Amino acid sequence: MPPDALSAQIKRHAEQLGFQHCGICPAVTPTGTAKLDQWLSAGYAGQMHYLADRRPAYDHPRHVLDGVQSLVMLAMHYSSGPHDVLPGQGRVSRYAHGTDDYHNLIRDRLHQLADHLRELAPMATTRGIVDTAPLLEREFAQRAGLGWVGKNTLLLSKSTGSYFFLAALLTDQQLAYDQSHETDHCGTCTACLDACPTDAFPKPYVLDATRCISYLTIELQDHIPLELRPGMGNWLFGCDVCQEVCPWNKHAPPTAEESFAPCEEMNPIDLAALFDLNEQHFRKRFRHTPLWRSHRRGLLRNAAIVLGNQRHNSALPALSKGLQDEEPLVRAAAAWALGELSLPESHQLLEQRNRIEDDAQVKNEIAVALQGS
């Protein structure tokens, strides 16, 4: 089958599988590796050491699929509306409002698309990826005509904004390639940069992940820096601020996937209930959702900080449980949050815990909290 006809068939089937955008580009050496090196050297990756560990693999898509000739770049909408958050509740990023982990759903669709390609070209070799392989997805998506990389470092589309997942199907087949999207439509707008609660953008088009709320609540395995905690506000998992203020997202279409549709239990989340979950119960509730990535200790750490930011007296029982948790990470965050409540009861709880606490970091958090409580 000629490349033009084969490409048209791939795009038609991708649409049938629920991908709203599909473009094709050649497998070439990306130009963005120099920026990646600068970004890594600046320390902006934080604890995401896997990026530096596999840095050489980003030099060419052949390190993802040997013999690759073409990349089919795909996008699937996940947008749902924002929800009001009451005291005692935490916000979850829109991409995680559904019942399933997007990796599983999109990976299954990629398998189906690969099967269809092999029906048309039986000798084809393929590999589908969903943000887990060393590939500069946004650059190749721009090469495939899907959009441009905005000042908030996300891929933007004039027609659908940025609320979509990116995926790629790599193949050794020669396909017909789309025109690269060369125009930047951000103009003089700095809404995303100005709205970031933690000043995570040192300059346009550069993200310091170590200050990003999404990184802090998901990737960071350690204590959240003291100066960044207030900026987290109500965010329990992820953050959408730089997308919510983007003008191109004013008319972002809602998701068509039932698995991505908002689930009442996923946003907003009752924070006190999280402190009643042991490891087994946490696994049962979150194992097949994006929130599993934070693990129990990380999510409870986040929950404590959100409760501290809200400074609502009703948080006292939950934070009391957090102060007795088996995880030092959770106890430390709960200690800070109790200090933010500034209640006589929280002061007593901190003093009681201080007498038996054996973790240095937790004792330091308690000492700071007692000074302010």
The tally of domains found in the chain comes to 2
Q: Cβ(283)–Cβ(297) under 8 Å?
A: no
Residue with tokens 């049938």: 16
How many helices (H) and strands (E) in the chain? 16, 9
CA dihedral of 186, 189, 191, 194, whole degrees rounded to 10? 120
Residue 198 lies in a domain: no
Residues 139 and 283 in one domain: no
E strand or H helix at 235? strand 235-237
Residues 165 and 296 in one domain: no
Q: What is the helix, strand, coil percentage profile of the chain, to 5? A: 50, 10, 40
Report the catalytic residues. Answer: 131
Residue 89 lies in a domain: no
pTM summary value: 0.94
Q: How far are the Cα atoms of 16, 162, 199, 239, 241 from residue 195, in angstroms, in the given order?
A: 37, 16, 8, 12, 7
Q: Which of 151, 171, 191 is the last residue of a domain?
A: 171
Q: Under the phi-then-psi rule, with left for phi > 0, alpha for psi from -120 to 50, and beta for the rest, what region is 320?
A: alpha
Task: Name the packing angle between helices 316-323 and 344-356 (round to 10°).
Answer: 10
Residues 20 and 141 in one domain: yes
Residue 208 lies in a domain: no
Token readout for 351 is 């003093």
CATH label of the domain that carries residue 323: 1.25.10.10
Q: Residue-wise pLDDT tens for the chain (373 aa)?
A: 899 999 999 999 999 999 999 999 999 999 999 999 999 999 999 999 999 999 999 999 999 999 999 999 999 999 877 778 999 999 999 999 988 899 999 999 999 999 999 999 999 999 999 999 999 999 999 999 999 999 999 999 999 999 999 999 999 999 999 999 999 999 999 999 999 999 999 999 999 999 999 999 999 999 999 999 999 999 999 999 999 999 999 989 989 898 898 888 888 999 999 999 999 999 999 998 999 999 999 999 999 999 999 999 999 999 999 999 999 999 999 999 999 998 999 999 999 999 999 999 999 999 999 987 6
> Residue 48 belongs to what domain range?
3-78+99-171
d(CA 212, CA 199): 8
Q: Which of 171, 191, 211 is the last residue of a domain?
A: 171
Residue 149 lies in a domain: yes
Residues 32 and 165 in one domain: yes
Residue 367 lies in a domain: yes
Residue 210 lies in a domain: no
Neighbours of 173 (CB within 10 A): 22
Residue 195 lies in a domain: no
Residue 45 lies in a domain: yes
